[in-house]
Each structure stands twice: as C-alpha cells, then as structure tokens.
Structure 1
C-alpha cells in the first residue's frame, strides 16, 4: 500500500509560494513534519521547503521594514551626497538625502507640509530630504546641528525638551545675527532621533528655520557667522 502525502505539508508549501498570512505556512510546515514523523506519511520535502521559503520571506520583509524605519531606504538608487564648496555651502543639488546628511547652513526641501509638523508626532516626519543650494527655492534652512549624549533612549518627551531648549537658545541668534529681522511667517523646527533610529546610533538633532506659507530663496545666515 502506497503512503499518502500529508495534507498540511501540501497546504503549507502552496501558501508559502503565494505569500499567504504571515507565519501560517511556517507553523503548518512544522506541524506537518510532526504528523509525517508520527504517521509515516510522505511530504517531508514539501514541509521543509515551506518552512525555508516562508522563513526567507519573513527575513526579507523584516530587513526591509528595519531599513525603512531607520531611513536607509528611499530613492536609494538615486541617492547622492550634496557637494559643498570650500566655504561649506552647497554648490549644487543632491538627489535624495537623509536628514542626518544636513549640515549647518544647508537649505533643503521635503515633501512634508511644514504647517503640519507642530500638529503631529515628529516620528511621522519623512527622513528623506533634498538638499539644495540656498539660492534655489527651499522649505528649510538648518542653523544648528548637534548630538545628544549616548546612553539609553531618554524618551520622546525628554528628547523634544532638549531639542526645544537648545534650538531656541543662542544658536539661532548666532546664525542669523543679533540684529536680524526675520519674517513673521518663519518658524523654528527640528528633527530629532526616534526610538528606532536611536537603536541604530542616531543621536542627531537638526534645528532649522522654515516658512510654512511656501518656499523661499536666499540664505538667512549672517555674513559673520
């Protein structure tokens, strides 16, 4: 009498190929192996293949999510570092850059709406920006970049408090000049580390000026700063 093939092994294999509900093919494959061993059925190869295929699929998507959360993805194939001249100013436009690429004095654009930054959690801000020369239309201009102390993540409230305190200190006056008259439509914004990016070594806070009413041209930096 010929052995019959374990049904769960077949189902697990098929589901692993069609990317079914996460973990289900993996669990079914493990159960199928146990049944095959106890019942003497065929299908061990199918069960093992299901476990291997779905395990690889889960690993792939886990890596994809981690890279996305840490900002390592995003127009990766088109990414290039912006070029700075000897004075530290961008002399061209980089393609997609990450917020941690921004230096003091850099101007940049983002697909985010600055008007919504103060209405939602900073964790929802995009980590991808386009750094451009300040004589081109831009949404933001960085006036200070600094790192937080190493250690365990202090929590969002603490990080925000530190960012607000330091971005509102003399750093702005040092950048624009003590006698500068800024437009009333300009506001102070900042990028800061989230728990996920902190885990991967991000400690950087970027303070920048932005006009939520639209893009502007020219730098706000005083000639002496």
Structure 2
C-alpha cells in the first residue's frame, strides 16, 4: 500500500518532497516485510526526480531571461538584424546596433554586477545607442583582476579593431565614444570571457552604421 500511495502522489501531488519521502518509506517497509510494490516505489522516486529537474530547468531559464525578455531579433542571411529583438549582452555580434534601458556610461558596468542582462538589438538604420565593432574572448584561467581586464579592453578596443571597422577614426563624429562590456569577477565564475567593443554616445542616439564612415 505505501508504494501505491507514493506512486499516485508522484503523479498528482504539488508538494515536491512528498512523493520522495513516501517512496523511500515504502522501499524501507518492503525490505522489512517482503511486501510487493518495489517497482511502484522506485517509479514514484524516479517521477519525482524528473519533475524536480524539469522545475529547476524552467526556473533557471526564467531567471536567465530566456523566457521573459521577449523574442530574439531576426537576421538576414548575412547576419544583419532586420527586425528588433531582445539579445543577451553576450549574444551581441560585431555590427549589431542596440539600445539599453539606461545611458551607456551606466550600463557599461552592468556585465560585472549582473552575470547577464539584455539589450534591444535593432537595425542600424533605426536610432540606437551603441554599435558593436568587435567581440573577443579573454584567455581562460584565474580572473586577472578588473584593472588588467580593463587595460586589455582599452588596448584592443581602441586600436586596430576600431580602424578596421570604421577606417580613419579621427573622421568619426565627435559625439561618438568608445565603450566596452567586459567580464568582472562575478560573471567570470560563470564562464564569461567576452569583451564587446562598441561605439556610442553617452547621452543620445545615432542613426545609421559607423562601419567604414571614417574612410
């Protein structure tokens, strides 16, 4: 009987620990008394484990923003955004234009304090705050410290990567500045190694791509 109860509860009970406890109790009683129902007790425990794993997965997806940030942007065959959508900051691609929920000077610090956050990726022909011109990964290993990470980001984002994308950087509008998202200790522990270099204005938006505009 305890095995039957455990099996039924695993199918209908909303309390996740109840089927597990009943299943374990049933197995213990079966070992002592030789009653039938060992298969049902094991099935109850397995069903509980699968249900719990599914619940954890759904919660994890929800917390990471996969379920709550809206649809992803649509892209053409070249990868260029054609329809706006939500992108995790670590999914920003070279050439993407995007908007944040705050000014760039503030959101530049977000990636370290929040392991993940989202931006709204838009076609570059629409008003946007940022345009990514390079994305690269730092080497694996222990976190090198924020000062070292910033130094690497400043060197690479302000050098050849910029001129390769825009041409002569001195010909760019004076309102455009170099920004970058970079991993800090909190996101490093979760596998974040990505630095995203982008052009933007600290307060305001641009329209059109900066690619090759300095040539």
Same fold (TM over 0.5): yes
Q: Which residue of 1 aligns with 2:209?
A: 219
CA RMSD of aligned residues (A): 4.3
How big is the shift at 1:216? 3.4
For 2:25 and 2:143, how far apart are their aligned partners in 1? 42
Pair 1:190-2:178 in alignment: no
Inter-partner Cα distance in structure 1 for 2:70 and 2:195: 26
Unpaired runs of at least 5, structure 1? none
In structure 2, relative to structure 1, the CA distance for the partners of 1:59 and 1:113 (3 Å cut) is farther
Map of 1:104-183 to 2, 5 A cutoff? 104-111=94-101, 114=104, 116-117=106-107, 120=110, 122=112, 124=114, 126-149=116-139, 151-152=140-141, 154-155=142-143, 157=145, 160-161=149-150, 164-166=153-155, 168-171=157-160, 174=163, 175=165, 177-183=169-175
Does residue 1:57 correspond to 2:57, yes or no? no
Q: How many residues align?
A: 209
Task: Give secondary structure in 2 for the equivalent of 1:165.
Answer: helix
Equivalent residue in structure 1 for 2:92, among 92, 98, 102: 102
TM-score between the two structures when normalised by the length of structure 1:
0.64
Q: TM-score, normalised by structure 2?
A: 0.66
Residue pair 1:93, 1:132 contacting (<8 A) in 2 also: yes
Task: Tell me: CA distance 1:196–1:212, structure 2 relative to 1, closer, same or farther (3 Å).
Answer: same
